[in-house]
């Protein structure tokens, strides 16, 4: 597999390609919540993309030189992608996680595939096929089963505040980002495209970062926070974004977005591996529903 063209010709390869971003993003939510008291949200988002761009740039220089005319041709679309999907989305997530629970964050995140389907239908006339609609519903029920610990009466006890509204606005941004990606021809190199998005996002975040620092919001650096920053700068940023960009180009917005429902599944598996927490029966049921929904959505 090369940086320029991932090996995702087979359905299994495409499924693997689309499964890795939610794995990395599951870690991003955990790390973002853990760092909420030590690193201000705009600072975290800004430094994340500085690290990501520095890591990606050596691989992006060749396609940047080759395709710059194409990037310029789609400049307004690329600018929109940079602001909505890179700068705004992550900053809103980190801001919202300072004042909401992890449970609410995961629940709100699970609305992304629904938002993609709804906005795609409203603005682009993208109707879901019956297997896609049933798969979306089934996987969403699986997410709810995990988040609610198998007790659906917990829905009545959920409360939502300012932080939840901020996180939900981030989910809307991601749905728009996913749909706009479809307007970029699949032949345009995704490595160079992502580097351009990162650079433009940093320009948009720079005044906000300076304003945050001027207001006295300064980070507290420790060994663990530096390691966490390195993680979010590489895995949820460079690798996840590249794979997701490739996945949307090959599978379409609705199908690629559905794989985001794997985030709570990966959260359960990471807890089992890293924290020695044994999966509960309701988690197994939820994971089975998510996987069945994704498999169903891929049927013709």
Site of tokens 């433009």: 200
Q: Is 147 exposed, middle or buried (0-12, 13-18, 19+ CB in 10 A)?
A: buried
For residues 170 and 153, what is the distance between their CA atoms, to the nearest angstrom?
27
SS3 71: helix
Tens of each residue's pLDDT in the chain, 300 residues: 345 555 555 788 888 889 999 999 888 877 887 888 899 999 999 999 999 999 999 999 999 999 999 999 999 999 999 999 999 999 998 899 888 766 677 778 888 888 898 899 888 888 778 888 888 899 889 888 887 888 888 888 877 788 888 999 999 999 999 999 988 887 889 999 999 999 999 999 999 999 999 998 899 999 989 999 999 999 999 999 999 999 998 888 888 888 998 888 887 787 677 657 677 888 889 889 988 988 887 676
| DSSP letter, residue 65 | H
Q: What residues have CB less than 8 Å from 46, skipping those under 6 apart?
A: 202, 205, 206, 208, 209
**Which pLDDT value is given to residue 2?**
42
Encode pLDDT of 234-250 as tens digits: 999 999 999 999 999 88
DSSP letter, residue 127: P
Sign of the torsion formed by the C-alpha atoms of 34, 42, 81 and 72: negative
List pLDDT tens digits, range 115-128: 898 899 888 888 77
Rounded-to-integer distance, Cα 133 and Cα 130, Å: 5
Domain residue limits, the chain: 11-297
Report the C-alpha gap between 192 and 255 in whole angstroms. Answer: 24
Say how far apart CA 16 and CA 243 lie, in whole Å. 10
Backbone φ and ψ of 127, nearest 5°: -80, 140
Q: Which of 52, 88, 57 is nearest to 205 (CA)?
A: 88
pLDDT reported for residue 297 = 78
Residue 290 and residue 149: Cα distance in Å, rounded? Answer: 15
């Amino acid at each position: 597999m090369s940086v320029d063209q991932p090996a995702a010709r087979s359905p299994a390869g495409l499924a693997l390609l689309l499964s890795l971003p939610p794995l990395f993003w599951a870690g991003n939510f955990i790390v973002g919540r853990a760092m909420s008291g030590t690193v201000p949200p705009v600072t975290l988002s800004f430094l994340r993309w500085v690290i990501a761009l520095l890591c990606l740039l050596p691989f992006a220089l060749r396609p940047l030189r080759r395709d710059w005319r194409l990037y310029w041709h789609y400049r307004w679309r690329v600018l929109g992608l940079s602001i909505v999907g890179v700068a705004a989305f992550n900053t809103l997530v980190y801001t919202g996680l300072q004042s909401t629970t992890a449970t609410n964050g995961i629940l709100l995140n699970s609305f992304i595939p629904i938002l993609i389907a709804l906005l795609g239908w409203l603005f682009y006339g993208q109707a879901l096929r019956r297997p896609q609609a049933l798969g979306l519903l089934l996987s969403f029920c699986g997410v709810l089963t995990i988040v609610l610990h198998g007790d659906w009466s917990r829905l009545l006890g959920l409360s939502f505040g300012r932080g939840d509204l901020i996180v939900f606005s981030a989910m809307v941004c991601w749905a728009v980002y996913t749909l706009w990606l479809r307007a970029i021809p699949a032949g345009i190199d995704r490595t160079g495209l992502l580097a351009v998005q990162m650079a433009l996002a940093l320009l948009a975040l720079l005044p906000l970062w300076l304003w945050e620092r001027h207001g006295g919001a300064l980070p507290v650096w420790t060994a663990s926070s530096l390691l966490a920053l390195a993680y979010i700068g590489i895995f949820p940023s460079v690798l996840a974004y590249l794979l997701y960009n490739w996945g949307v180009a090959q599978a379409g917005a609705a199908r690629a977005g559905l794989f985001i429902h794997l985030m709570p599944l990966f959260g359960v598996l990471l807890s089992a591996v890293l924290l020695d927490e044994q999966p509960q029966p309701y988690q197994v049921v939820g994971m089975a529903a998510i996987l069945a929904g994704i498999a169903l959505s891929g049927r013709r």
